[in-house]
Amino acid sequence: MSKFAVILPAAGKSSRYHDKNYKKPFAPLADRAVWLHAAEKFLQRKDVKQVIVVISPDDREYFNFKFASNVAILGIEVVVGGQERSDSVQNALSRIEPDVEYVCIHDAARPCIVDEWITNVFEAAQKSGAAILAIPVAGTLKRVRAGQTIEATVPRDGLWEAQTPQVFRRDLLFKAYAERGSKPATDDAELVERLGHAVTVLTGSTLNLKITTREDLRLAEQALKALPKPKFQGPAHPFADDDMWR
């Protein structure tokens, strides 16, 4: 059985979430924080040997106060992130255990993931070295000028919206980060693409949504009800319901 490590980036600013009490990965969702929903989906798997959550230095005190019990009970590692998402992932890569063969990056703010999708992308990565979930773009795309007027309609043929998990052979991902330079990348697959390595795309689901706004959180609550229940039933933390009373 191949060994996987999972990195959960949660170091973003959540600038579009607009909640004075929470950043989006830490918001309560169905009795536990968003990031815990994501983490627990991987912790139940026998092929996952390491789970690392990456947090902002500004959130370290809050995270330790709220989630120290989760981290200890579930065996999760915590890494402090950097200025950009790629910096945060690179910090986590330095903590990957030597015997890990594949690295999975999954948004901490994407809680509605199920085991079947994880299995599919894990298996695809073992075959090709790099695989991601994505969904075909269904809507009509418009390129809009600065003045909020339409400049052009963009053909959607062949366009897909990338999701996570994104899974890569260890050496391939390490090389991609070693050679990333100063040019920004919007996801990890883009760095691997720059090496000239093909990335396999598997069809994901619209239910695999990323929490960006508070409306997304309400949608996620409904999505969780529609998804299969996880096998993992370990404790979230001793005060799992505390946030629901805030």
Query: What is the torsional sign of CA 232, 236, 240, 243?
Result: negative
DSSP per-residue codes, 161-176:
EEEEEEEEEHHHHHHH
Tell me, yes or no, whether 245 lies in a domain. Answer: no
Q: Is residue 21 part of a domain?
A: yes
pLDDT over 70 percentage in the chain: 89
Measured distance CA(145)–CA(155) in Å, rounded: 17
Burial 44-69 (b: 16+ CB within 10 A, else e): ebeebbbbbbbbbeebeeebeebbee
Please indicate, yes or no, if residue 243 is contained in any of the structural domains.
no
Specify the pLDDT at position 239. 43
The larger pLDDT score, comparing residue 230 to residue 93, is at 93
pLDDT computed for residue 19 by the predictor: 54
| Spatial separation of the C-alpha atoms in residues 118 and 38, rounded to whole Å | 11
| Counted domains in the chain | 1
CB-CB contact of 92 with 8 (8 Å): no
When mean pLDDT is compared across 36-45, 91-100, 115-124, 222-231, the lowest value belongs to 222-231
**pLDDT tens readout for residues 151-209:** 999 999 999 999 999 999 999 999 999 999 888 899 999 999 999 999 999 999 999 99
Structural domain includes residue 239:
no
Q: How far apart are CA 190 and CA 199, in angstroms?
A: 9
Query: Which residue segment(s) compose the domain that 11 sits in?
Result: 4-234
Q: What is the pLDDT of residue 230?
A: 54
In a domain, 241, yes or no: no
Q: What is the pLDDT of residues 50-83, one digit of tens each?
A: 999 999 999 999 999 999 999 999 999 999 999 8
pTM, two decimals, is 0.89
Instruction: Look at residue 149 and tell me if it is in a domain.
Output: yes
> What CATH number is attached to the domain comprising 171?
3.90.550.10
